[in-house]
Amino acid sequence: MAERNQNPPYKRIATEEAWMPEEILNLYRKEIREKNIGEPGFHSLWGFYSSDNEIALAQNRRIVSLGEQRIADMDAAGIDIAVLALSSPGVQIFDPITAHSLAVRANDELAEGIARHPDRFTGLAAFSPLDEVNAGKELERGVTKLGLKGGILNSHTFGTYLDDERYWGIFETAEALGVPIYLHPNTPSPQMLEPFLSRGLDAAVYGFSCETGLHALRLLVSGLFDRFPKLQIVLGHTGEALPFWLYRIDFMHTRLSRSNRYAGAKPLQRKASEYLRENFYYTSSGVGDPKPIMYVQDVIGADRVMYAMDYPWQYVPEETAVLDNMPVGPDVLKAFYEDNARRVFNIK
């Protein structure tokens, strides 16, 4: 069995670690009881995690922690710093006015928790994606006033994807601030959910990756990065499988975009794979196997791949021991655990 390096020449920074304030968790429980919102994916996921089964109780005890519980778990896993973000679906199941007010309070609470443990925590700002007026303003406040390091977007909002240009103000703000947007999974939208749900494939086992990879490709194909060429998006789970499809994405998108087959898929300024290499960063969240991580390091670049555990959704304390022993050079390992995260999230 692999052993963790007890004195590594790097800090281990975990870059996709979920947090949720009690206020939002209680609102989720209320929604599960009352069923006011037509989001079947949410009800499937949080119906389980709002119950009193052993897994849910342990999960929720961890997810609300900004103190002793989380730090003890980090210590047990050998993690030095956690980049915290509002867990999926965040504020995105609420109407824009409610969602904005919840995001403001959540960001304030997260910043207070970070201030209590500045050597262990940093974080990303939540926002209401469909609030065209306030989304960018709250990201800017989170970064410039609260010291947060970017934004968290839990993929679709009521089946709406942000490739629609009316919502691009958030990306314009992120580019201007020089901070990334972490595109985190949500359960599949109502339009695509049923084939996943009936076999229990709607969440992390497969549905998350399909839904979030789709959102990432919609952003790319929309021309978002031609408009905002310095914008950076972070994808977890070794890129939601997209790095494994680079050749086919390039071949097929080039052909169909030149054919005028689809009004919404016009030629871009660069190949699709170039955007995936230059406008995206990737984390290992939920993938404790060195081989796919090393593949992404190879085809994308070791300077664009970061460590993440996906706590508390997938808390595996021995994971860092396995990844400490990845057969890569010491510079690549240090970049994976520390250097890339410090650069991307401006961690001093």
Residues tagged active-site: 310
- CA–CA distances in Å: residue 276 to residues 2, 53, 234, 301: 32, 40, 10, 11
Q: Give the 3-state secondary structure of residue 159.
A: coil
153 token code pair: 């977007």
Could you tell me the strand order of the sheet in which 81-86 lies?
A: 13-19, 81-86, 121-123
| Phi, psi of 211, rounded to the nearest 5 degrees | -65, -45
**Minimal CA–CA distance to 122: which of 155, 82, 162, 71?**
82
CA distance 131 to 96: 5
**Minimal CA–CA distance to 326: which of 280, 286, 295?**
295
| Phi, psi of 121, rounded to the nearest 5 degrees | -125, 145
172 token code pair: 């314009």
- CA–CA distances in Å: residue 86 to residues 95, 125, 162: 17, 8, 18
* Cβ burial, residue 68 (10 Å; 0-12/13-18/19+): exposed
CA distance 280 to 270: 14
